[in-house]
Amino acid sequence: MKLSSRQAFWYAAFLLIFTAIAAYTVANKTWWFPPLASVQGGEIDNLFMITLVITGIVFIAVHIVLAYFVWRYRGQADRKAAYVTHNTPFEISAAATVAVALVILVGGGTTLWTKIQSPPPADAFTVEVWAEQFRWTFHYPGADGRMGNVDVRFISDDNPYGLDPNDPYAKDDIFATEMHVPYGKPIAVILRSKDVLHSFFLPHFRMKMDVVPGMKTRMWFTPTQAGVFEIPCAELCGVGHYIMRGVLTVESPEQFNEWISQQTPVGMSQ
Ligand SMILES: [Cu+2]
């Protein structure tokens, strides 16, 4: 199909306008991340920016070249296509450029992923999280400071989160509908599901982990500020998925101790 000059002009103009709008919305941070609130999130954001700059330069360059070619090689009478078999210097330099970019991106990503997936520090504060259609429940140790064992085989109407009835540490455990953590130390999270796949997402902390029935998954992160943060479920888990939203409060150790002292241990509520 031959493009008339007018068609070629508008086609090229559309490409340039589209590229300019895309570049502007990204550079202007029109739709961007929520404010950062974790140490690990800072490293993730840095890697994201490196990736964005490399791919952004390629994206803009490719579209400018494409627009130019659409205009330059529009339909013209009596013009034949050029026949180019190969161009060794160009092919080597193009392959080398792509290889260097991929080594930077994959190397940076693998290194950071390995670090973030490493076991949590020994002084981390641990919370166990139960996901179910369509809410989050947070499991804390009681006054003895140790969380009781949990197993899905113990789940019943009277024991909705499967505490081990024979475990003395389980007697004073606490199940809360909100997540609170003390500020100033790493937070480790152990994730369990009662029913289907869910995903525990902390957008301000740049953390997300699938919650898989039948297994424990984990994450850990270090908050950099106190505050109240949203916990959306990031896996379509049923008709009520959209209301599956929890709240994470990061607060001073004193405020946290006061909050936890107001929660009712399971042993007393039964
Ligand atoms: Cu869910």
Please give the mean pLDDT across all residues of the chain.
91
Q: At 13, list the tokens.
A: 């103009």
If you measure from the C-alpha of residue 241 to the centroid of ligand 1, how many angstroms do you get, rounded to a whole number? Answer: 5
pLDDT digits (tens, 9 = 90+) for 175-217: 999 999 999 899 999 999 999 999 999 999 999 999 999 899 9
- 66 against 5, higher pLDDT: 66
Report residue 237's pLDDT band, with 50, 70 and 90 as the boundaries. Answer: very high
Task: Specify whether the CB–CB gap between 212 and 193 falls below 8 A.
Answer: yes
**pLDDT value of residue 2:** 66
If you measure from the C-alpha of residue 163 to the centroid of ligand 1, how many angstroms do you get, rounded to a whole number? Answer: 22
If you measure from the C-alpha of residue 137 to the centroid of ligand 1, how many angstroms do you get, rounded to a whole number? Answer: 12
If you measure from the C-alpha of residue 197 to the centroid of ligand 1, how many angstroms do you get, rounded to a whole number? Answer: 7
If you measure from the C-alpha of residue 195 to the centroid of ligand 1, how many angstroms do you get, rounded to a whole number? Answer: 9
If you measure from the C-alpha of residue 207 to the centroid of ligand 1, how many angstroms do you get, rounded to a whole number? Answer: 16
If you measure from the C-alpha of residue 239 to the centroid of ligand 1, how many angstroms do you get, rounded to a whole number? Answer: 10
**pLDDT value of residue 267:** 64
pLDDT digits (tens, 9 = 90+) for 243-265: 999 999 999 999 999 999 998 88
**pLDDT value of residue 269:** 43
pLDDT at 145 over 90: no
ipTM score assigned to the predicted complex: 0.95
Exposed / middle / buried, residue 227 (Cβ in 10 Å: 0-12, 13-18, 19+): middle
Q: At 88, list the tokens.
A: 């060794």
- 42 against 265, higher pLDDT: 42
pLDDT digits (tens, 9 = 90+) for 83-98: 889 999 999 999 999 9
pLDDT digits (tens, 9 = 90+) for 106-138: 999 999 999 999 999 999 999 999 999 999 999
Q: Is the peptide bond before 138 cis (omega within 30 degrees of 0)?
A: no
If you measure from the C-alpha of residue 238 to the centroid of ligand 1, how many angstroms do you get, rounded to a whole number? Answer: 7
For 146, phi then psi, to 5°, come to: -125, 135
